[in-house]
Each structure stands twice: as structure tokens, then as C-alpha cells.
Structure 1
Amino acid sequence: MLPNFFHAGVPKSASATVNTLLRNHPEVFLPRQKEPNFFIRDDNFVKGLGWYVETYFAAAGDARIRGDMSIGHATGFGFDAIDRIAGLMEAPPKILLTFRDPIARAFSQYGMARDKGQLDRLDFAAAIDRALAAGPAINKADRRRARTGTYYASDADMDVYRWCMYVEPGHYADIYEAWAGTFGTDNVLVLLTEDLASDLQGQADSLCDFLGIARRPVEAGTRANTATGLRYPALRRMLNRLYALGPLRRVLNRPELMQLRKMLRRRLLSANYVPVEGRSGPDPATVERLRAHYAPQVERLETLLGRDLSRWRGDAAFKTVSGGDAATRPGAAPW
């Protein structure tokens, strides 16, 4: 009953679209909770494999594919997941990696943290400056501490968050080598967000072939998440500060309080979301700084995949961005 498929990442690269494609497939079982985060979160992992299976896969039946779409596996917070999955799986699972222009991905992640999460109070340029400055000194202990949910409790931990969520997930060559080196290149598929936007049916067919399931027509209207902000930002900031307190977090994370936690999320968080029509793109200087930072990763990934990724190195038209997940509408903005 263990999963035999993982969508390992990266965040903000069409995970909602992939989830919709697979959730509608009769040969695939996905848990109701999109991201179980069992292999990422220490407080979940210590509950054991039995808890994981019973909680998320008890209803899988005879589904050919049982999937875990905890896309944080490919962030700095999730690097432990590779060793944990490899240590528990009798046979190598299928791994999907979705990659997107790394600067577009970083800006989208930042937008969610600022507009929806109320975590980042800096502009994009300042946030990237701090992330790049902090990155070389960030170690495993920093990541473990920050991924518990206290990253907004101090400036130093917020910088760990910025590196692990804005910058490091764009190190695609490192991510690919880590997963393919552990599970084998035949068990790892890379899809590009830009290809999902321009040829959703073709990419869906490639994914089905990779998983060994029947191809199916993409349903009309399949699209990305809509970017959202907050009607009352102060409410989210207050909840963030309360959740950063260890005692409250430990109480809310108890399994018996799962329904209460869902109710609070629905009443206090989801009801506070409003669509974001658009926001200005990143400033050219920050774009160029990130282009230079990511250039070695893009070149290595081209070699590893045997694909032309020159579109990630060219000049981009940073005009209006819609945020949210990867757009899958013809002609949609690449952000």
C-alpha cells in the first residue's frame, strides 16, 4: 500500500495542473490531502510507515498508481526525503520533477509568501539579496529548524526560508542528479511548465506513458491555480505569530485535532483569500543577478537531459504577472 509514484517538485511549477490530470484518472489514487509531507516533516515521519499508509492510502484499493504529491521534496527543507524514501521502498518508485524558468518560479514563490502567506515584508530585490547572502552558510540544522514552521520568528530563520524556497529550488541540475542518482534515470521524468502551458495534452500523454497507464483526453477547462491574496492581511499576520509559538503548534498538530485544524483553515484562511489580478514583475537588475546565479545549473541540466533550455537564458518580457501556479491557458503569461 505504499506509494509507487512521487511528484517531487518543484513548488510553483504546475503541481495543481498535474494533480488535476492524475486525480481524474481511473488507474491513479491520490490522497484527498494533496501534500501528505510524511517524508519531509519530522513530526510526521516519526509516526511511522503504518500511520502514513493508514492515514493516506487505506482507500487506494487496487489502483495501479498510488501517488504522493508532496512537492516540497525538492526544496531545501525536503532533501531528507530522498534517503527516507529510498530506505523504505522495496522497489524504486516513479519520480516526476516539474521545472519552470527558475526566476519566474522564484518570483511566483515570493509572491505567494508576500501576498498570501504574509511572511515576507521585503520587496523582491531585497529578499533575494538576503537569500543569496545567507545561502552559503545555511546548513542542515538551519533547515531542520526552519521547516518546523518557525521561519517567520526571526530575521535569520526568515533568510533560511528565502534561500530554501525562493533560490535553492531553482538548482534543477542538483535536484535532478540527486533523484536520478538514487532511483535511476529511467525512473525519473522531467516535465517543463512552459511545455505544459503550450501542449498540455502532449505532456499528459508523456506522463501516462511514464507511469504505464492509459492515455486519456485532457478535460476541457483543466487549468492552473488562480493567484490569490488576502482580504485582511493583518488577520494572517496575527495567525502566523500565534502559530510560531511552539505550544500552540504542538496542540494543533495532534492527529485527533485534524478536523478542527481543517475547519480553522477553511474559516480563517481560505475565506480570507481574494483573487490577485496582477502585479509588476521583478526589477531588471535582480533578474540579471539571478540569471547569472542560475546559469551553471541551466547549462548542466541541458547536458543531463539532452534538451535545449535557451529560453531560460534569454531576455524575458517582465510585464504584468498573474502569479499562482503555472498557467495552462494558450497565450497565458509565463509567470
Structure 2
Amino acid sequence: MGPNFLCIGTYRAGTTWLYRVLKEHPDIFLPDEKELMFFSHHYDKGIGWYEKFFEGRRGEKCAGDISPTYLSSPQAAGRIYRHFPDIKLIASLRNPPEQVYSLYNLWLSRGYTDKDVKTVIEEEAEFLDNILYWRHLSRYLEFFDRDRILVLLFEDLRKDPKAYLKEVYDFLGVEEFYPESVYEKYNQFREPRNMMVEKLITGTGDLLRRLRLLKLKSVLNRLGVSEGIKRFNTKGAEKDAIPEDVRKRINEHVREDTRRLEEFLGRDLSFWR
């Protein structure tokens, strides 16, 4: 018992939205905990630990795991193939500079850093590694046929959520279903009123992850504990535009990788630059 599809990433590219919408579909089962991260972070727990998250499945046609850590993980593709060679994979990608800046703002709002974005992308290798999309996808293509991988763009989600979702449904082979949550937005930029409170919320979630108490975390999520505190602890704030020199630095970093991705997708991605 396990999933027959995975959403492998990337970060800040609509995966939370996809999780919330697909979880409402009557023929799709998703665990209560988004981002199980088994194939990237918890593989040593064993496949039995992972499969327990799918014990609640009751005849749904599809079961999935949405963990954006999988795309950039060097080991995930091979591990996934070892256990689920016929699985379907969904990758949602985003304009690289916008993805980096969105992730940076998330770190900033959660108190992970107080440094400027230029310093963070130079000191934290994952920021620039995450956006080498073709390099990461090519690892999956070593194991899986092209028709097992659906590549979507976050910009298309913004433009037409229903059309984006239809591609997912067609790929999974389930009927179209469009709940009201299709038009909701999740994980938007927010500025905390009190950073100590924010760090307490984030630290509790991170601690439960490190202790691998994901079921307890799922219960707290269902009760809306952290979301309620976050709403109370949020003040109105506008996200600053990405600095132009940072945008240029990122675009130069991904230039060749994006060119290869364009060839693979057969699509012009000049609107990313």
C-alpha cells in the first residue's frame, strides 16, 4: 500500500494549493500531512513507516504524496523507482528569480534568517541549487519514461487555475472536480507582528518533524492551531520587488539549465527572464 503519484516540487510553486485542492477530490487520497519527505529526508525509517500514512485509503483511484523536497534531492529519484517503478510524477516549476525571492521571504517571515537576499543566496547553496530544474529532472529521466512525468508551470496556475488542474486530472486519469478552494491562495507572504511568537510556531513544527511525530503534527494542523496563531500574529505587509541585480545574478546562474529545459518542454521560457 502506497502512492501511485507524487508531486516532487518545486518549493514555492503552488504545491500547497495543489495539496489542498486534490485533498477535496473524492477519488484522490492524500495523507493528512503534506510533505512526508520520505524519499529525501526520512528514508532510513523504512518503507513500512511510509506506507502507514496511506492506510486510510478507502478505494480511491489515486493516492499521492506532495513533497517538494524530492525534485532537488540527489537520492530521491532512485529510491522512488526502487519501490514504485510505475508511479506518476508531477513537477511544478516557477520563474527562478521569483522562486528564490519567494523562498527567501518565507525564511525571513519565519525567522530563519535576518540577512539580505544577496547574502543568503551566496551562503545557502540550496537557494541556487533548487532552481536548476533541468538538472534535477534529468535524474528522474534516468529511471522513468517521459510519459510518467508531468511538468507544469506556476505561471500557468496563476493565469488559469482550472486549466492547470485539468492537466493534473487528465494525467492522473480521474474526473474533473473543481471545489471552491481552486480560487484560494495559500502560503502568501506575511510579516509577523512578533518574531518570537513566529519562531515558537515554526520551531514547534520543525521539532515535530525532527522527532518524526508527523501524525501528531497532522492532528494539530487539522485543529488549525498554528494557522490560527499565525493569523493573529500577522500584520499587513506588501512584499518588496526582487532587486534587479539579484534577478540578473539568478538568471545568469540558470541560463544554460533553462535553455535545456526549454528544449525538453518544447516551450519558450523567455518570460522567466
TM-score of the pair, normalised by structure 1: 0.72
| Unaligned ranges ≥5, structure 2 | none
Structure 1 pair 178/312, CA: closer, same or farther in 2 (3 Å)?
Answer: same
Tell me the secondary structure at the aligned position of residue 69 of structure 2: helix
1:53 equivalent to 2:58? Answer no
Question: 2:71 maps to which residue?
Answer: 74
Q: 1:181–1:48: structure 2 CA closer, same or farther, 3 Å change rule? A: same
Residue aligning to 1:140: none
- Matches of 1:271 and 1:179 in 2, distance apart? 39
Pair 1:309-2:269 in alignment: yes
Residues 149-188 of structure 1 correspond to what in structure 2 (within 5 A)?
Answer: 159=123, 162-164=124-126, 166-188=127-149
SS of the equivalent of 2:130 reads helix
Cα contact 1:125–1:283 (8 A) shared by 2: no
Structure 1 counterpart of 2:44, one-letter code: V
Report the alpha carbon displacement of residue 229 of structure 1 after superposing the two structures with TM: 3.0
Q: 1:114 to 1:18 in 2, by over 3 A?
A: same
For 2:168 and 2:34, the matched residues in 1 are separated by 18
Aligned counterpart for 2:161 among listed residues 186, 190, 200:
200
Indicate conservation of the 8 Å contact 2:91/2:149, yes or no: yes
User: Would you say how many aligned residue pairs link Structure 1 and Structure 2?
Assistant: 269
- Asked whether the 8 Å contact 1:208–1:215 carries over to 2, the reply is yes
**What does 1:254-265 correspond to in 2, within 5 Å?**
255=213, 259=216
* Aligned-pair CA distance for 1:32: 0.7
Distance in 1 between residues matched to 2:18 and 2:198, nearest whole Å: 28
Q: Percent identity?
A: 25
Please report how far the alpha carbon of residue 236 of structure 1 lies from its aligned counterpart in structure 2 after TM superposition: 4.3
Post-superposition CA distance 1:72-118 (Å, at most 9, x none): 1123xx332112111112x3210000011000000000000011x21
Question: C-alpha distance in 2, partners of 1:173/1:111?
Answer: 24
Cα RMSD after superposing both structures: 2.8
1:64 corresponds to which residue?
A: 61
* Separation (CA, whole Å) in 1 of partners of 2:176 and 2:78: 32
Structure 2 residue identity aligned to 1:125: K
Matched residue SS, 2:142? helix
Is 1:121 matched with 2:114? yes
| One-letter code aligned to 1:64 | K
Residues 120-166 of structure 1: CA distance to partner in whole angstroms, max 9, x if unpaired?
121112222x2xxxxxxxxxxxxxxxxxxxxxxxxxxxx3xx221x2
Partners of 1:250 and 1:278 in 2: how far apart?
31
**Residue of structure 2 equivalent to 1:139:** none
Asked if the contact 2:4/2:63 (under 8 Å) is kept, the reply is yes
CA distance in 2, matches of 1:2, 1:83: 17
Cα distance change, pair 254–177 in 1 and its aligned pair in 2 (3 A): closer
Identify unmatched segments of 5+ residues in structure 1: 131-158, 314-335
Determine helix, strand or coil for the equivalent of 1:186: helix
SS class of match (1:174): helix
Matched with 1:106 is: 100
* Deviation, structure 1 residue 203: 1.5
Return the offset for 1:282. Answer: 2.1
State whether structure 2 residue 223 is matched by structure 1 residue 228: no
Structure 1 partner of 2:239: 279
Q: Mean Cα displacement is larger for which, 291-300 or 223-232?
A: 223-232
In 1, the alpha carbon distance for the partners of 2:153 and 2:130 equals: 14
Contact 1:40–1:72 (8 Å) recurs in 2: yes
Deviation per residue, 1:188-230 (Å, 9 max, x gap): 0011011111121111111111111112345366222132232
Q: Distance in 1 between matches of 2:114 and 2:180?
A: 39
